[in-house]
Amino acid sequence: MCINCGCAPTEGAHNHHHHDHDHGARTLRIEEDLLAKNDRLAAGNRAQFAAAGVFVLNLVSSPGSGKTTLLERTLRELGTKWRFAVLEGDQQTSLDADRIAAPGVPVRQINTGAGCHLDAHMVGHGVENFDLPGTDLLLIENVGNLVCPASFDLGEDHKVALLSVTEGEDKPLKYPQMFRAAALMIITKTDLLPYVDFDVERCKAFARQVNPKIEILELSCRSGEGLAEWYGWLEEGVKRKQEPRAESQE
C-alpha cells in the first residue's frame, strides 16, 4: 500500500508522480454495476407498464429472423382484439415502422444511429406519446443483433428470442447470453424445414442447455402453422398482467 495516500497498488502500470507532493489523492471504493443506470431506468419503465397493465415484450434476434413479419401478422390478426403499441428499433430508416403501420396501432421508430441495441432510456422516451393505460400489449422490436441487446433490460416482461430455420440450430450455444435472457424462443419460418438442414429437436436441446426454463414455440408466418400457440401465449401474458388491475378495481 502506498504510504502517502493509502491507495492500493494496481496491477501493471502505476502512475506514481502524484506521490511526490502534498495532495488530496485518495482511493474511493465504488462497487457500482456498469449497467446500474440502465437498470434503474428499466425499473422505472417496468413500474410504469405495471401501473398501466401493459404486457411488454422485447423481441430480439439476428437480422432477418422474421421479427417484423411476425409483428405484421400478429397485428393483422389480433389488432381488433387487443390494443397494441409498437416500438421499432433500427440503426436507421423508418422502413419497419412504415411496414407495421396499421390502422389504430401507434408505432414509433427509434433510430439508434451507431448504437447496436435499444436501452431503457430510449424506450422511456419512446413510449412518451403512447396512451399506456389504453394499451394491452407493447411490442418492442429490438435492433437485429444477437449479442448486445441481451445485456440491456428495457423494463419488459419478457425477452422473446426468434431463430429462423435458415440459421444454424447451434445459435443458442453460440450466443448463450441472449437465450439465457429470453423467456421464450420462437423457431420461425418452419415452412422451410423440408429445404434446410435444421434439426429442430437439437436446437431445442441446445436452448435448454443454456436456459433450462426457456419456453419454445415453432411457427411459420407464411403457412400460419403454430400461430395459434403464439397467440395463446400472448393472451395468457396479457391476462396475467391485467389481473392485479382488475382486482384493484373491484
Partner 1 sequence: MHELSLTQNLVAIAEEHARKAGAVVIRSITLEVGELSGAIPEALEFAFDVCSKGTLAEGAVLTIRRVPGHGRCAVCAAETACHELSAVCPACGALGFELATGTELRLLELEID
Binding site for partner 1 (CB under 8 A): 5, 7-8, 10-15, 18, 23-38, 114-117, 119, 147-148, 150-152, 173, 176-177, 180, 208-212
Q: Is the torsion defined by CA of 191, 193, 198, 204 positive or negative? A: positive
- Sign (positive or negative) of CA dihedral 24, 28, 34, 38: negative
Q: Which is nearer to partner 1, 61 or 220 (CB)?
A: 61
Query: Is 11 or 197 the residue whose CB approaches partner 1 more closely?
Result: 11
The distance of closest approach from Cβ of residue 27 to partner 1 in the complex, given in angstroms and rounded to an integer, is 5
User: Min. distance of Cβ 209 from partner 1 in angstroms?
Assistant: 5
Placement of cell 424506450 in the chain: 123
Tell me whether residue 38 or residue 135 sits nearer to partner 1 (CB atom): 38
Radius of gyration in angstroms for the set of CA atoms belonging to the chain, rounded to a whole number? 22
* Residue 74 near residue 160 (C-beta atoms within 8 A): no
Q: Give min distance, CB of 180 to partner 1, in A.
A: 6
In the complex, what is the shortest distance from the CB of residue 206 to partner 1, in angstroms, rounded to a whole number? 10
Quick one: 23 or 125, whose CB is closer to partner 1? 23
> Rounded to the nearest whole angstrom, what is the least distance from the CB of residue 136 to partner 1 in the complex?
31
Question: How far apart, in Å, are the Cα atoms of 89 and each of 67, 104, 115, 170, 184?
Answer: 11, 20, 10, 26, 20
* Cα→Cα distances 148→131, 139, 142, 198, Å: 29, 19, 10, 25
In angstroms, rounded to a whole number, what is the distance separating the alpha carbons of residues 233 and 215? 10
Question: By C-beta, is 28 or 247 nearer to partner 1?
Answer: 28
